[in-house]
A and B are shown apart, each in its own frame.
Chain A
Amino acid sequence: MGLLSLAIWTPIAFGVVLLALGRDDQAQAVRWIALVGALVGLLVTVPLYTQFDVATAAMQFVEKSPWIESFNINYHLGIDGISVWFILLTAFINLIVVIAGWEVITSRVNQYMGAFLILSGLMIGVFCALDGMLFYVFFEATLIPMYLIIGIWGGPNKIYAAFKFFLYTLLGSLLMLVALIYLYITSGGSFDLLTWHKLPLGQTAQTLLFFAFLAAFAVKVPMWPVHTWLPDVHVEAPTGGSAVLAAIMLKLGAYGFLRFSLPITPDAAHEWAGLMIGLSLAAVIYVGLVSLVQKDMKKLVAYSSVAHMGFVTLGFFLFNDLGVAGGIVQMISHGFVSAAMFLGIGVLYDRVHSREIAAYGGVVNTMPKFAAFAMLFSMANCGLPGTAGFVGEWMVILAALRVNFWVGMAAATALIFGAAYTLWMVKRVYLGPVTNDKVKNLKDINAREFFFLSLLAIAILYMGLYPFPLTEVMDVSVSELLKHVALTKLN
């Protein structure tokens, strides 16, 4: 069994064991098994980074064996510089989520932990799949555990949110399914992604395929104007669900652009780049403004996720090294930062049971340790230099300036909005005098919370101060991708 298979199936195997354990009477054992599962799941991904060869753009750790022979579908895994970090990120966030849910989840613990472990394995599968159908299977299968996580452990309006999440994303991916089948037939019976990358396609076919992929990935990212599901879902999802959704699931869509839209339909991607840049800027600026007026902390962070993901798609469709690499760095940093933001809100929510900004005020007086973490995460969220949030945004803005001054200018304004809505929230929630009794009676974070928040804080600072390990692995793969995208596929 290869390393990638281990990374996928270890958490899933632990998850299945947890589901089989049955009811709540062994909750404590369940938590420990989940922790071991998440930890082992993370450890098996470490060699992927340490043994990674940064000098080649070819797929590494490749595994290939026939899966469904009548359709020529293969169990084909492999990673390059674009995908390797997402696997580590997924396994890491999974571990954090298991720790974060430790005392908070008291009902049906085994199903909660099991769902997260299985979800994590499936998402790693998405990032490794080199077979179109295998990708689709992992991509879609993630919906089932997430649907249950939102629906079972979510807030008051959880059912609406669960349905919105499932149907919205299914709508997009079903169109992609037709596109995959079309590619299978046009390529003479192959679901192999690398074959598709080389497949010549006419202009009309490329346009149709591009929009079919766009339907799937734009909803998942989510891009403006199909982002409306995200705030609703984030508000209702349990803390862990929000963290995984923002940190990893959104990246599945953005990753899809890099693996499907750009290399398979390069001409259509160039033709429609203007549209994509426009939509990305709309997300960055308009949604940034929308965040400013939110009264609900989770909703605010959700909208800010949409704005941050706007930077990602903006970077991809600038078609230069800096932009694409910046987009990927932004994805990873946003993975850490958004997870940290949601987990921070979760810490408050567990104590006060409110997400309203107005329900807080002066938290720093009663929870000084926590407020320090929250301040750091918020700074990272508005892209302060020295934190993870800065690197990606800076790269993308620079890339945009290179392409067109006004695009870069527009993107840069988003930094101001980002700072505005985040800092204003910090001011209203954490700073100032204690506003009410609930805040007055708050207890500061315990050792467990301190532990997982500091893990995130270390990651965020490290990335901000020394992003070289990130950019180092992706350089070759990104320039190879751009070289490929620059070539026309029209015959």
Chain B
Amino acid sequence: MIDKLSLIAVYPEIILLVMACVIALFDLGVKSRTRTATYLVTMLTLAIVAALQASYAASGQTLYAFGNMVVSDVMGNWLKCFATLSVMVTLVYGRQYAADRDMLRGGELFVLSLFSLLGMFVMISGNNFLVIYLGVELLTLSSYALVALRRDHTLSIEAAMKYFVLGALASGFLLYGMSMLYGATGSLDVQEAFKAIHAGQIKHQVLVFGLVFIVAGLAFKLGVVPFHMWIPDVYQGAPTAITIMIGGAPKLAAFAVVIRLLVEGLMPLATDWQPMLMLLAIGSLAIGNLAAIVQTNLKRMLAFSTISHMGFVLIGMMSGAVAGQPEAAASAYSSSMFYAISYVLTTLISFGVILLLSREGFEHEEISDFAGLNQRSPLYAGIMAVCLFSLAGIPPLIGFYAKLAVLQALVATGGTLQLVLAVFAVMMSLIGAFYYLRVVKVMYFDAPAGSAVLAAPLEVRAVLSLNGALLLILGLVPGGLMALCVNAVTQMLTT
């Protein structure tokens, strides 16, 4: 029996699903090379969905629907809103690029993007192990297809294969872990599982066994060491328009799943998963940053930097559960959320600039391709520099506050080990600063590599400038976004 209230909770999802199907059909009639009509309809759909999510988030309600299968809460609504906006920005940046590379022969780019967004929505809203799993699969299956969209390009196909094989393995891990937990707790519902574990009747070993698989599966999806192998290859191999699609919004969904599974479901096992996350974070910070130093390909370098940034997100996650300090949890998880959002915002720029500078038949993705960009275009060089300094965590840019928030949560746990980890993390970001600075150096200090005119559609320039300005504005006044994250997480924890 589906009641009306349940439907309200998933209206955006329904709109997205219906429109994805409609657009798939509608596109059959579109002839234009750049698929302008499909693009416009897609953007309109996304705009409506984003507005809807924002209004849900503003109403501050928490709705459980379909017998607790899905939940629509403030945190989820905001994450979905930001994910939608991020997909919109991705499409703005990537359309010309895709058209130039014969990826717009059909409307698949738009339809698959919508489906992957739907997958993210389901992940974010899922309140049931199976629903979450379905969301993960919908997202990743769409992503595999997106990576392979440039079907005559060997690197892309190779990346898609790699992504598919490793992704399938990770999904297997996740599913296996979920089935163990189901076996142990007798329920697929996240809250039921929580209660069952909390009651303390279940054998600890079985639970930890399942937990290990769940954490491993999530680590795959987040791309943290030692489950990071696919990230550099896929980021580099995928067409850049797709890299930004898989490197941006899905991180928000992955964050939400970590929250739903580990915090809402497996909190009683926190003492078990915290050390796991700590190890993953240490490995990611070390390997991500060290490996990024030697890269000559910017996309690959950013891929390794992603790994290290996900390490920071995990640091926030593992700082949450401190005995006797319930308020620490809110500040820790919200710091992770803030980190994930600010990371997505920066990633959109870094790959957006690569997209913008790539022309037909020329991939602008080696670091040396950026030589002397400041002389060719002070604006793009400036935006890219702001983005890189933000990734390096230099104030007054948003990346700094993200690191500050996470480190604050870490130090607030009060442990000596955590203090050492904090020092380790800042030392690693020093290494990070080196390779980001190297790109700034190439852009500002080296002689220009080429004199090709940098022409980009007005909408791309406008959105990119806005995106860059946001890094700076949110850097000067980060309070609002921080408060938003704290509110969202506090509500999630109290209901």
Q: In the assembled complex, which residues on chain A have CB atoms less than 8 Å from the CB atom of B427?
A: 174
Q: In the assembled complex, which residues on chain B have CB atoms less than 8 Å from the CB atom of A151?
A: 441, 444-445
Q: In the assembled complex, which residues on chain B have CB atoms less than 8 Å from the CB atom of A111?
A: 374, 378
Binds A, one of B6-14, B154-162, B430-438: B430-438
A148 to chain B: closest residue by CB: B444
Q: Is the CB of B445 within 8 A of A162?
A: yes
Mask: chain A, 147-158; 1 = CB below 8 Å from B; 0 = not: 110011000001
- Which among B404, B423, B477 is the interface contact of A67 at CB below 8 angstroms? B477
Q: In the assembled complex, which residues on chain A have CB atoms less than 8 Å from the CB atom of B419?
A: 178, 182
Binds B, one of A33-41, A68-76, A245-253: A68-76
A255 interface hit (Cβ, 8 Å): no
- Kindly provide the distance from the CB of A169 to the nearest chain B CB, expressed in whole angstroms: 11
In the complex, what distance in Å separates the CA atom of A70 from the CA atom of B405?
10
- Kindly provide the distance from the CB of A228 to the nearest chain B CB, expressed in whole angstroms: 17
Q: Is the CB of A137 within 8 A of B441?
A: no
Whether A163 contacts B434 in the complex (CB less than 8 A), given A71-B408, A181-B407, comes out as yes
Mask: chain B, 395-430; 1 = CB below 8 Å from A; 0 = not: 110001100110110011010000100110011011
Q: In the assembled complex, which residues on chain A have CB atoms less than 8 Å from the CB atom of B422?
A: 178, 181
B482 interface hit (Cβ, 8 Å): yes
A:157-186 near B, CB below 8 Å = 158-159, 162-163, 166-167, 170-171, 174-175, 177-178, 181-182, 184-185
A358 interface hit (Cβ, 8 Å): no
A348 interface hit (Cβ, 8 Å): no
A141 interface hit (Cβ, 8 Å): yes
Mask: chain B, 372-394; 1 = CB below 8 Å from A; 0 = not: 00110010001000000100001
Q: In the assembled complex, which residues on chain B have CB atoms less than 8 Å from the CB atom of A141?
A: 394-396
B483 interface hit (Cβ, 8 Å): yes
In the complex, what distance in Å separates the CA atom of A23 from the CA atom of B382?
13
Q: Is the CB of B437 within 8 A of A133?
A: no
Q: Is the CB of A166 within 8 A of B437?
A: yes
B486 interface hit (Cβ, 8 Å): yes
Q: In the assembled complex, which residues on chain A have CB atoms less than 8 Å from the CB atom of B374?
A: 108, 111, 152
In the complex, what distance in Å separates the CA atom of A111 from the CA atom of B381?
12
A19 interface hit (Cβ, 8 Å): yes
A88 interface hit (Cβ, 8 Å): no
Q: Is the CB of B444 within 8 A of A152?
A: yes
Q: Is the CB of A158 within 8 A of B445?
A: yes
In the complex, what distance in Å separates the CA atom of A477 from the CA atom of B404?
32
B389 to chain A: closest residue by CB: A144
Mask: chain B, 447-471; 1 = CB below 8 Å from A; 0 = not: 0000000000000000000000000
In the complex, how many residues of chain B place their beta carbon closer than 8 angstroms to a beta carbon of chain A? 39
In the complex, what distance in Å separates the CA atom of A133 from the CA atom of B404?
10
Whether A185 contacts B411 in the complex (CB less than 8 A), given A68-B478, A151-B445, comes out as yes
Q: Is the CB of A171 within 8 A of B430?
A: yes
Q: In the assembled complex, which residues on chain A have CB atoms less than 8 Å from the CB atom of B389?
A: 144
B479 to chain A: closest residue by CB: A68
- Which among B400, B426, B437, B478 is the interface contact of A163 at CB below 8 angstroms? B437
Whether A167 contacts B408 in the complex (CB less than 8 A), given A69-B483, A152-B445, comes out as no
Whether A137 contacts B408 in the complex (CB less than 8 A), given A111-B378, A174-B429, comes out as no
In the complex, what distance in Å separates the CA atom of A19 from the CA atom of B374?
12
Q: Is the CB of A181 within 8 A of B411?
A: yes
A272 interface hit (Cβ, 8 Å): no
- Kindly provide the distance from the CB of A256 to the nearest chain B CB, expressed in whole angstroms: 16
In the complex, what distance in Å separates the CA atom of A163 from the CA atom of B436?
11
- Which among A22, A71, A159, A170 is the interface contact of B445 at CB below 8 angstroms? A159
- Which among B396, B407, B414, B445 is the interface contact of A177 at CB below 8 angstroms? B407
Q: In the assembled complex, which residues on chain B have CB atoms less than 8 Å from the CB atom of A167?
A: 430, 433-434, 437
Q: In the assembled complex, which residues on chain B have CB atoms less than 8 Å from the CB atom of A178?
A: 407, 411, 419, 422-423, 426
In the complex, what distance in Å separates the CA atom of A252 from the CA atom of B375?
32
In the complex, what distance in Å separates the CA atom of A22 from the CA atom of B331?
42
Interface centre among B382, B412, B422, B430 (most CB of A within 10 A): B430
A262 interface hit (Cβ, 8 Å): no
In the complex, what distance in Å separates the CA atom of A159 from the CA atom of B430?
17
- Which among B375, B394, B483 is the interface contact of A143 at CB below 8 angstroms? B394
Q: Is the CB of B401 within 8 A of A68?
A: yes
Q: Is the CB of B441 within 8 A of A163?
A: yes
- Kindly provide the distance from the CB of B404 to the nearest chain A CB, expressed in whole angstroms: 7
B427 to chain A: closest residue by CB: A174
- Kindly provide the distance from the CB of A18 to the nearest chain B CB, expressed in whole angstroms: 11
Whether A170 contacts B412 in the complex (CB less than 8 A), given A158-B445, A178-B407, comes out as no
Q: In the assembled complex, which residues on chain B have CB atoms less than 8 Å from the CB atom of A177?
A: 404, 407, 426
Q: Is the CB of A174 within 8 A of B426?
A: yes
Q: Is the CB of B396 within 8 A of A137?
A: yes
Q: Is the CB of A175 within 8 A of B423?
A: yes
A140 interface hit (Cβ, 8 Å): yes
Q: In the assembled complex, which residues on chain A have CB atoms less than 8 Å from the CB atom of B375?
A: 108
Which B residues have a C-beta under 8 Å from some C-beta of A? Answer: 331, 334, 374-375, 378, 382, 389, 394-396, 400-401, 404-405, 407-408, 411-412, 414, 419, 422-423, 426-427, 429-430, 433-434, 437, 440-441, 444-445, 477-479, 482-483, 486
- Chain A to chain B: the 9 pairs with minimum beta-carbon distance, closest first: A137-B395, A174-B426, A68-B479, A70-B482, A151-B445, A181-B411, A140-B395, A137-B396, A181-B408
Provide a sorted-by-A list of 16 A–B residue pairs whose CB atoms are within 8 angstroms: A19-B382, A66-B479, A68-B477, A70-B482, A70-B483, A71-B482, A108-B374, A133-B404, A141-B394, A144-B394, A148-B444, A151-B441, A171-B430, A174-B426, A174-B427, A182-B411
A19-B382, A170-B433 known; 6 other A-B pairs, CB under 8 Å?
A148-B440, A152-B374, A166-B437, A170-B430, A174-B427, A182-B411
